[in-house]
Structure 1
């Protein structure tokens, strides 16, 4: 981790506008309508009774327990569990200058950007995210810690740290650099070339404080390399990563576009396939046999296709890959849904501007998924993928008080998910009713007014 980290965290603390108050006492959140994602149905007037940062009970109608602070949402609002994005990159964002930032920006610069992107993500209604790959330096780990300590506004972050790649593969940090400019990276840098390297890279991630592992099982669209889909790990290397990850309680997410790389990743035991562009009828049964999750990221494919048409936005080595891969993800996602593959919501935010994550709902519906299914993909399914269904995914007793609301019925108009009007995380209101202006830092990192 960078020696600059303490300074980064101090600077980020000064930057942040903190949440309204600690999650103390009883709150009765009165919802004109509520999506029961566990049951898959829409309820009428409902009160979510919150005790501290957990839900005590969910009651039909508008009720107000003795001593509770009452928060009544506007007529027509619909409450949902806090949304969960299973594929983000909070420490980077697309731009014409993105390919030079690795040579220009320090860890502190990246951290300040990440603080802005994290807040934007939370305000869009996403209260929990997986961060699946940073440039290195441990900035995403520090960002997670700062959010957990109450120094920053942001979603609950589970980070993979640096993606694990192979030499020259997608996420090799020296791709595109002239020879000799950077040293040959190894397992400590997230680049492996053997079973032993693979094990060491996982252990290094544990040492660095990651929450899960992400590998790049095939080439990628935006890396400075020719192929977007060639396999880049052996099955033995994948198994070594997965087996070692299990020792540390880690799941493994696999970036993959090409079929052979996906097959190796699935047979190697990864938890999820990200993007999955060339997944087809040959691979659907294998996904179902192994119980592998699929995180489509349709919006990322749509965005890179649009930007590839703009001369100069991407390097010339990237443009053909974006034009070939991007348009296929939506149809693959639709076919995977019809085949019964397990699907969780993810966007690849950072490949497109942060805060626009909810456009994925609209694209999933266009791909043929019912509106309710897409909402479940971002709640109950995502919680199951994380192995945290007892804490997240639905508005029910015992779970964390993560609640969002939109101004209308998203089952009738899924585009309303882009208009989140209320955000509560951990029992604290960040947007909407009683959201703060500029509170002060309280004890243990909580904010008070």
Structure 2
């Protein structure tokens, strides 16, 4: 029998880690106050059960306390990724959803969830199981029950698209009836019916493909819309009826405008936003989720020179418009679209948002404060405050000076349980 490495044994042992029955004090050289965008020096957090009991430069030492000294590091709230795909891994997306069974993909998704957690991501929004249906609900439930380690999850099941639209198994022999990666709806009534089915299967929110077939033509980015504003409004109203939200994949106008008019929670990718769309997003606090990392990855891993040129042309247009969006005050959340690139590496998204025009403090606030709002955990995660969940990571150096330190998480705690030390 092949022996497991010590690291593997410890990792599998973490599956059964229980909530500690004694208080813990975390001590580090610095602590990030996300809301003020400042550091506390030194920083300490008192954890009791799954919650933060006290934060400051020096906290109480209750009887039986365990003190964990993290040295010359910064305590940061657990990272949030608002756009992930647990059921995807590097390779041909369409092929893996056809060639790999849902049970196999579900096992792979649990591994991906563990990798994301160990990289410091304690909360994520899974933006479509890509043909695996409600299997993401099973992964979420297994994490919540302590069967497997992973982040807090908001899941959507399959994304919703139109017949012959984005992710509809295009390019295959129609006679083979290849299953699409999305659930199909072609009218407002069908959208509502599909939403209700997805909620029955465990979806926390709805993801809709609002654009598809992206192209760069004469230096301009184009992508046809899939749903009208009234159709999207019907979807948003149905989700709101049961206290839930709608997110859209949207990359161009007028699809993004229709989504903003309908009042979606987020416009993901948001490559080129029109002036009226920006105005509505600011007014309604609709978050743009840029997903730079996936664009960078596709440009660097293109299958041909022509494909690479297309990806780089698209990225150049996206970068120019992002700077305009930042200047206009568009509200942002941070999401990487991890899955097609390796899980556990998506802190790169925070780095790229700074590289492309935002300050480290603004990106951290977008990722953590806005991310908590978008995922529906406002006041519970995204900040190190009394009463919040004890979702805490430690990074080397100062993230306000060098945001890339988030790519080197040294310590991970979720709900008071230490997963990486």
Q: Determine if the alignment matches structure 1 residue 144 to structure 2 residue 137.
A: no
Q: Determine if the alignment matches structure 1 residue 32 to structure 2 residue 32.
A: no
1:107 is aligned, of 102, 106, 109, to 102
Query: 1:323 Cα shift?
Result: 4.2
Change (3 A) 1:337 1:193: same
2:232 is aligned, of 223, 233, 238, to 238
2:124 is aligned, of 123, 129, 154, to 129
- Please give the secondary structure, in 1, of the residue aligned with 2:259: helix
Give the conservation status (yes or no) of the 8 Å contact 2:125–2:375.
no
Query: 1:182 Cα shift?
Result: 1.8
Cα deviation, 1:64-98, whole Å, max 9, x if unaligned, reads 22221211112x10001001100000111221x43
Give the conservation status (yes or no) of the 8 Å contact 1:304–1:326.
no
- Please give the secondary structure, in 1, of the residue aligned with 2:324: helix
1:77 is aligned, of 60, 73, 89, to 73
Give the conservation status (yes or no) of the 8 Å contact 1:34–1:42.
yes
Q: CA RMSD for the aligned pairs?
A: 2.3
- Give me the whole-angstrom Cα distance separating, in 1, the residues matched to 2:222 and 2:96: 22
Change (3 A) 1:420 1:15: closer
Change (3 A) 1:113 1:228: farther
- Please give the secondary structure, in 2, of the residue aligned with 1:259: coil
1:200-239 correspondence runs (5 A) = 200-219=193-212, 229-239=223-233
Query: 1:129 Cα shift?
Result: 0.1
- Give me the whole-angstrom Cα distance separating, in 1, the residues matched to 2:51 and 2:179: 48
> 4+ residue stretches of structure 1 with deviation over 4 A?
14-17, 183-186, 318-321
**1:7 alignment partner in structure 2:** none
Deviation larger for 347-356 or 318-327: 318-327
**2:339 alignment partner in structure 1:** 350
Cα deviation, 1:91-120, whole Å, max 9, x if unaligned, reads 11221x433222211111101111111111
Change (3 A) 1:105 1:221: farther
- Give me the whole-angstrom Cα distance separating, in 2, the residues matched to 1:396 and 1:193: 45
1:396-411 correspondence runs (5 A) = 396-411=385-400
**1:248 alignment partner in structure 2:** 242
Change (3 A) 1:166 1:425: same
- Give me the whole-angstrom Cα distance separating, in 2, the residues matched to 1:329 and 1:93: 24
- Give me the whole-angstrom Cα distance separating, in 1, the residues matched to 2:86 and 2:214: 19
Give the conservation status (yes or no) of the 8 Å contact 1:19–1:429.
no
**1:301 alignment partner in structure 2:** 295
Change (3 A) 1:208 1:185: same
Q: Determine if the alignment matches structure 1 residue 384 to structure 2 residue 373.
A: yes
**1:325 alignment partner in structure 2:** 314
Query: 1:17 Cα shift?
Result: 4.7
- Give me the whole-angstrom Cα distance separating, in 2, the residues matched to 1:83 and 1:184: 34
- Give me the whole-angstrom Cα distance separating, in 1, the residues matched to 2:264 and 2:32: 31
**2:273 alignment partner in structure 1:** 279
Give the conservation status (yes or no) of the 8 Å contact 1:30–1:63.
no
Give the conservation status (yes or no) of the 8 Å contact 1:46–1:62.
no
**2:253 alignment partner in structure 1:** 259
Query: 1:24 Cα shift?
Result: 2.9
Change (3 A) 1:15 1:100: farther
- Unaligned ranges ≥5, structure 2: 1-10, 216-220
Question: How many pairs align?
Answer: 405
Change (3 A) 1:327 1:109: farther
Q: Determine if the alignment matches structure 1 residue 120 to structure 2 residue 120.
A: no
Taking structure 1 as the reference length, what is the TM-score of the superposition?
A: 0.85
Query: 1:146 Cα shift?
Result: 1.0
Query: 1:279 Cα shift?
Result: 1.4
Give the conservation status (yes or no) of the 8 Å contact 1:401–1:426.
yes
- Give me the whole-angstrom Cα distance separating, in 2, the residues matched to 1:337 and 1:323: 21
Q: Determine if the alignment matches structure 1 residue 418 to structure 2 residue 411.
A: no
**1:195 alignment partner in structure 2:** 188
Give the conservation status (yes or no) of the 8 Å contact 1:402–1:426.
yes
- Please give the secondary structure, in 2, of the residue aligned with 1:151: coil
